[in-house]
Amino acid sequence: MVPTPNKRPSLVGLVIALNDSLSEAGVGHGFGGALALAYYTSQPRTTSDIDINIAASVEMVAEVFKVLPHAISWDTASIAQCKRDGQIRLWCGQPQKGIPVDLFFAQHEFHDAVAAAVSTHPFGTEEYLIPIISAAHLTVFKALFNRPKDWVDISEMLRAGSVDVLEVDLWLERLLGIDHHALQRFRQLAGKGATRDPNIRIQPKVDPIIPWQTLRKGPGLS
């Protein structure tokens, strides 16, 4: 296990350390969560954690863990858990007191689309760039998580005009099915209703990357 320092690290410093470590090792990645949200809304919110989509399969978990900054702790149990679940929360600093780092590994073709659409944005200075997942794919993830704050974030991104509505619509229908409440709620927020070309056929639902079939139903939706 990597030792955990007592001092809480800097969030900005950790983002840079993670980006440098993964980039130098040739590990494709894109920051998501509230960090990505900051680039797609006019009123970004603060965050205390870091979400990273890793463009590698779960078979590569151990190799990826080994290139993470030394302040992030993990052990063989962490490797087994991540291989099983495809995602994990690690800690930089003391568990529950440091900075949570959530890693999401590629398990599905949607993740391939996420990796292909990553773009770089300035972080800290104009010269330093970090890879960020697209607004559309961030919206899909948030619709799948289906928490109240996720829908607030989706509304803010739509208001800012940063979301490719058709891209989100296509993926939600493919992943969840046309009648799923999350897709219907997104369409209501986007103000698009069922306006997609009916001649475009979406492939049937495929194996989920998270258990979104158990997502909570939104208010007023079935």
CATH number, domain of 58, equals 3.30.460
Same domain, 126 and 150: no
Residues 186 and 76 occupy one common structural domain = no
Question: Of 94, 116, 133, which residue sits at a domain end?
Answer: 133
Q: Which parts of the chain have pLDDT scores under 70?
A: 1-9, 192-222
25 found inside a domain: yes
**Same domain, residue pair 127 and 144:** no
Burial of 179 (0-12, 13-18, 19+ CB in 10 A): exposed
Domain that holds residue 65: 11-133
* φ, ψ dihedrals at 53, nearest 5°: -90, 125
Place of tokens 């998580």: 145
Looking at the whole model, is its pTM more than 0.85? no
pLDDT at residue 115 in the model: 97
pLDDT of residue 10: 87
DSSP 8-class letter at 22: H
The label of the residue with tokens 């996720």 reads: 150
**Last residue within a domain, chosen from 112, 133, 154:** 133
- Residue ending a domain, among 133, 152, 171, is 133
pLDDT of residue 124: 85
Question: What pLDDT is stored for residue 103 in this prediction?
Answer: 98
Tell me if 20 is assigned to some domain.
Answer: yes
In angstroms, the CA 221 to CA 119 distance is 34
Instruction: Tell me, yes or no, whether 24 and 121 share the same domain.
Output: yes
